[in-house]
Amino acid sequence: MSESELDETDRAILRLLAEDARHTTPVDIARRLPVSDGTVRNRIERMEEAGVIREYLPVIDHESAGYPLTVVFTCDAPIADRGSLAGDALEADGVVSVREFATGGGDVEVTAVAEGVADITETARRLHEVGLEVRNERLLRQERRRPRGTLEGDRADPDEERP
């Protein structure tokens, strides 16, 4: 299923799930869209089977969970090994995400959470062990996310007029 195969109703369902998938049922979605809850269920199932919806993840406040430091490591990796090294990096304690870039230096970005400076040093050591060269490490002050990510529009109603 490609993006062009998603219609406005599919996109509206995705927007509502992105806002709060845990507390949003097909009945809740159907109340906000001009479709039945059965249609919503069918659409969600189809998007899950097609890989459009891959998983449902909690958003964790790491600071509240006892990890007050978030560090972003910018790393270099040999092109041929980039994918496997990125996967290995994800297995390191404290690592919460790994992003792999196709161009430019600093082609692997690793985000890790830590209780203290010693944990940051240990994560950097582990990244080096798996074969990544740490180019830079930055202490993250704050991150803001938009629940809809790159989904177009803020409307839940696909028939709502655009400005």
pLDDT digits (tens, 9 = 90+) for 96-143: 999 999 877 889 999 999 999 999 999 999 999 999 999 999 999 988
pLDDT digits (tens, 9 = 90+) for 40-62: 999 999 999 999 999 888 888 89
Which tokens sit at 1? 């299923």
Q: What three-state secondary structure class fits 138? A: strand
CB 62 within 8 A of CB 111: no
Give the pLDDT band of residue 152 (cuts 50, 70, 90). low
Nearest-angstrom CA–CA distance, 11 and 66: 36
What ranges do the domains of the chain cover?
Answer: 3-49, 69-139
pLDDT digits (tens, 9 = 90+) for 19-36: 888 889 999 999 999 999
Sequential DSSP letters for 84-120: HHHHHHHTSTTEEEEEE-SSSS--EEEEEEESSHHHH
- Give me the residues paired with residue 134 across strands: 75
- 5-28: b (≥16 Cβ within 10 Å) or e: ebeebbbbbbbbbeeebeebebee
Fold of 3-49: Arc Repressor Mutant, subunit A (1.10.10)
Check: CATH 3.30.70.920 for 69-139? yes
- Report residue 15: phi and psi, to 5°: -60, -45
Q: Which of 79, 132, 86 is nearest to 102 (CA)?
A: 79
* pTM for this entry: 0.73
Nearest-angstrom CA–CA distance, 14 and 70: 29
